[in-house]
Amino acid sequence: MIATYPAAPDIDVLTSTFPIPGFGFVPVNAFVLHGSEPVLVDTGAMVDHADFMTALRSVIDPVDLRWIWLTHTDFDHIGSLHQLLEENPRIRVITTFLGVGIMSLTAPLPMDRVFLVNPGQDITVGDRTLTAVKPPVFDNPSTTGFYDQKSGTFFSSDCFGALLQEVPQNAADLSDDDLRQGQVTWATLDSPWLHKVDAGAFAKELDGIRAMEPTMVLSSHLPAAAGAMTDRLLASLAASPTAHPFTGPDQAALEQMLAQMTGP
Ligand SMILES: [Fe+2]
Ligand SMILES: [Fe+2]
């Protein structure tokens, strides 16, 4: 089930909630930026494909979309990508060279329908200028978020995601503990390389986001967060490299879980 809610007058969130057994829930978000050239940011999870299209049609007619900003090529971001390309021949996909390369291994993107950006580059989409940004934390090398100069929103892709016990529509409704712990768990699970980073270099990356002073942070895996929360979001990331590394359940734990589910 995919729900929608406005994060700003001209930005809609499409969100579903995925359970991670034993750990909680992770929201999976896509976003619609309304304007003279509407942009869809990511296209939902492959497993949710049909529901995603229904939810999308409730906030915009897909024939009106002009752009898809594909933050990266993971399965929770490309669910309806090809259906949208087929339904609307005007859509172009903003991605990276690496994004095109990864997609070519499963469902190639037509080269005349991509628009390649690198971090730091701007693209003008109607009444908006979007600046590509490499987020400080990511799980796929093709990842490119962006800063929307019109709304001041930072679209951070998987960065700032959180594993939560309940998923509100507004990150401000999470307690300090739930937000911090949820973010740290997600960061250590999704980006285990964080434990190997140089602390000074990582702090500089976080400072870059602080200096951006976003009015809002829209992560693929966190409820909408007002800009006033940016320092808290960054503090959770700063704590992640030295947090306990994530270790998934092993076979013995899996068998225990299955026994609990099926009973004696
Ligand atoms: Fe990802
Ligand atoms: Fe993701």
For position 264, what pLDDT does the model report? 66
CA gyration radius, the chain: 18
CA of residue 42 to ligand 1 center, whole Å: 11
CA of residue 139 to ligand 1 center, whole Å: 5
Q: Which residues of the chain have pLDDT under 50?
A: none
Contact present, 183 and 233 (Cβ < 8 Å): yes
Q: Which of 95, 83, 96, 90 is nearest to 65 (CA)?
A: 90
Q: Is 32 exposed, middle or buried (0-12, 13-18, 19+ CB in 10 A)?
A: buried
CA of residue 138 to ligand 1 center, whole Å: 7
Phi, psi of 67 (to 5 degrees): -140, 145
Burial 201-223 (b: 16+ CB within 10 A, else e): ebeebbeebeebebebbbbbbbb
CA of residue 23 to ligand 2 center, whole Å: 17
Decide which of 3.10.450.50, 3.30.565.10, 3.60.15.10, 3.90.650.10 is the CATH code for 3-245.
Answer: 3.60.15.10
CA of residue 126 to ligand 1 center, whole Å: 28
CA of residue 10 to ligand 2 center, whole Å: 23
CA of residue 5 to ligand 2 center, whole Å: 19
CA of residue 76 to ligand 1 center, whole Å: 7
Contact present, 164 and 184 (Cβ < 8 Å): no
For position 48, what pLDDT does the model report? 94
CA of residue 259 to ligand 1 center, whole Å: 31
Q: Which residues neighbour ligand 2 (ion) by CB within 5 Å?
A: 76, 158, 220
For position 66, what pLDDT does the model report? 98
N- to C-terminal Cα separation, the chain: 32
Q: Is 116 exposed, middle or buried (0-12, 13-18, 19+ CB in 10 A)?
A: middle
CA of residue 254 to ligand 1 center, whole Å: 24
For position 261, what pLDDT does the model report? 82
For position 22, what pLDDT does the model report? 85
Q: Taking each helix axis as running N to C, give the angle between helix 176-190 and helix 230-239, from 0 to 180 degrees, rounded to the nearest 10.
A: 50
Checking DSSP bridges between strand 122-125 and strand 67-69, what pairing results, if any? unpaired
**Ligand nearest to C-alpha 142:** 1
DSSP code, position 195: G
Ranges of each domain in the chain:
3-245
For position 213, what pLDDT does the model report? 98
Contact present, 221 and 29 (Cβ < 8 Å): yes
For position 263, what pLDDT does the model report? 74
In the structure encoding, which two tokens stand for residue 78, read together?
A: 């490309």
pTM score of the predicted model: 0.97
